[in-house]
């Protein structure tokens, strides 16, 4: 059984908090990237514990993860940073399941 998650960009924690408070539904078409088990495994290593498939990361944490990743995942994370830059966003929210 693997991990399947979508990544979403938010300008800041305030925007993410307002989004969660309104209980709005995330749509697949709003996703900036699809992430799989290699991301989940990296996050388990990064945090040292499981977060049940939901991750909220700052821009700086994504930069840190790039240094820990390799292969396709490293490229995906670099692409995520470019998207965050283009959208002037600082928060990456990943919602997935196992």
Read off the pLDDT of residues 28-64 as tens digits, 9 standing for 90 and up: 778 899 999 999 999 999 988 778 889 999 999 999 9
The number of distinct structural domains making up the chain is 1
Q: Output the pLDDT for position 49.
A: 79
Q: Output the pLDDT for position 77.
A: 97
pLDDT in tens, 21-35: 776 677 777 889 999
pTM metric for this prediction: 0.86
Neighbour-count burial of 56, counting CB atoms closer than 10 A to its CB (0-12 exposed, 13-18 middle, 19+ buried) = middle
The CATH number given to whatever domain includes residue 13 is 3.40.1760
In which domain, by residue range, is 45 found?
4-97
Do β-strands 4-10 and 91-97 pair in parallel, antiparallel, or remain unpaired? antiparallel
| Cα–Cα distance measured from residue 49 to residue 82, given in angstroms and rounded to the nearest whole number | 28
């Amino acid at each position: 059984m693997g991990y399947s998650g979508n990544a979403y960009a938010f300008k800041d924690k305030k925007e993410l908090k307002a989004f969660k408070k309104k209980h709005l539904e995330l749509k697949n078409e709003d996703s900036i990237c699809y992430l799989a088990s290699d991301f989940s495994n990296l996050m388990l290593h990064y945090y040292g514990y499981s977060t049940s498939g939901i991750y909220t990361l700052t821009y700086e944490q994504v930069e840190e993860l790039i240094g820990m990743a390799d292969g396709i995942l490293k490229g995906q994370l670099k692409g995520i940073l470019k998207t965050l830059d283009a959208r002037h966003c600082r928060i990456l929210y990943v919602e997935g399941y196992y």
